[in-house]
Structure 1
Amino acid sequence: MKLRKTDPWKPASDYSRELSGLTVNLLVNNISKASEFITNVIEANIIYQDIDFAAIEGFGSKWCFHADHTYYKHPLTSFINKKQKRGNGIELRLLGCNPDKAEMRAKKYGFKVISKSQDKPHGLRECYIIDNFGYCWVPCEKI
């Protein structure tokens, strides 16, 4: 069920037509908290945000946050456990996001850094940051 009382910035069908390649919808229980992490730590751009949805752009990609309550008739509803963290086993890699700076911002805003910035044998410098919802973000740059 959508809680938004006004029309969104554009119809969902128009926005969907703008997307290409791999897109990601992340389910969160609080759009504002998720957006704070994305803007403060990752430094991606919020294109649109309301209580139900946020559209994000950054590092050559577009992705979305959907509030749990918008998935009330969705097949994933039965898999959402609101007491547990989400994202187990997935890395959300942001190639072109400076890992050292993202790590510093994550610490500043109180997010958990589970692996400090370091050069890896596969040719990337990366760090691992856990957001409010248990998603693992991996800011990384080619070395």
Structure 2
Amino acid sequence: MKLLRKVFQVDFETVGAGEFGASLRGIGLNLLVRDVKALCDVLERVFVMKTHQVTADFAIVTYGAQVFQLHSDGTYHSNPLLGLLPEAGARGAGIEIRLYDTDPDEAAEKGVSVGMHLLQAPSDKPHGLRECYLLCGNGYAWVPSRPL
């Protein structure tokens, strides 16, 4: 918990890149997306996430006590991953972004209303969760879940 408190001592609305980067600990998630602002809108409307410093190139996103980043392709001009990105189609094959504090029934309804693809309708699973699978326009699988 000590590391988490260090991250959240940062004001996500005003922190500079150097200070923000130095504050990160643990495992980080950075999604490369075609349209940062569009995905921020979806994440706010469907999953009630908070987005900070949203530009065409970058955003800080918080979900409960978690923080992650969105970057546009253009910000990765010298990154080795850029050459692996497909020009079209899904990018997130094989990754599930699990949101354990989001009602899957509500998220499914909201997600479809903003153009997400409902890959799997909300259902009760043997591992003790009710969940659904929503794909965003970048092909990432968002899995809102709640305990049964």
Q: TM-score, normalised by structure 2?
A: 0.86
How much does 1:80 deviate?
Answer: 1.2
Q: 1:4 — aligned with what?
A: none
Is residue 111 of structure 1 aligned with residue 116 of structure 2? yes
SS in 1 for 2:93: coil
Q: Of 54, 79, 101, which aligns to 1:49?
A: 54
Identical-residue share of aligned pairs (%): 32
Partners of 1:70 and 1:113 lie apart in 2 by: 29
The one-letter code matched in structure 2 to 1:14 is: E
Higher relative contact order (CA 8 A, sep 6+): 1
- The reply on whether 1:16 has 2:17 as its aligned counterpart is no
Correspondence 1:1-143 to 2 at 5 A: 9-143=14-148
SS in 2 for 1:116: strand
CA contact (8 A) 1:48 1:56 kept: no
Over the residues paired in the alignment, what is the CA RMSD in angstroms? 1.4
Alpha carbons 1:99, 1:127 under 8 Å: kept: yes
**In structure 2, what residue type is equivalent to 1:86?**
R
Determine helix, strand or coil for the equivalent of 2:108. Answer: helix
1:68 Cα offset (Å): 0.2
Alignment coverage as a number of residue pairs: 136
One-letter amino acid of the structure 2 residue matched with residue 134 of structure 1? G
Moved more, 129-138 or 83-92: 83-92
Residue 60 of structure 2 aligns to a residue in which SS? strand
CA distance in 2, matches of 1:132, 1:108: 13
Contact 1:59–1:94 (CA under 8 A) maintained in structure 2: no
1:12 Cα deviation from its structure 2 partner: 1.6
Q: 1 CA distance for matches of 2:64 and 2:125?
A: 20
Stretches (4+) displaced over 6 A: none
Which letter maps to 2:92?
Answer: G
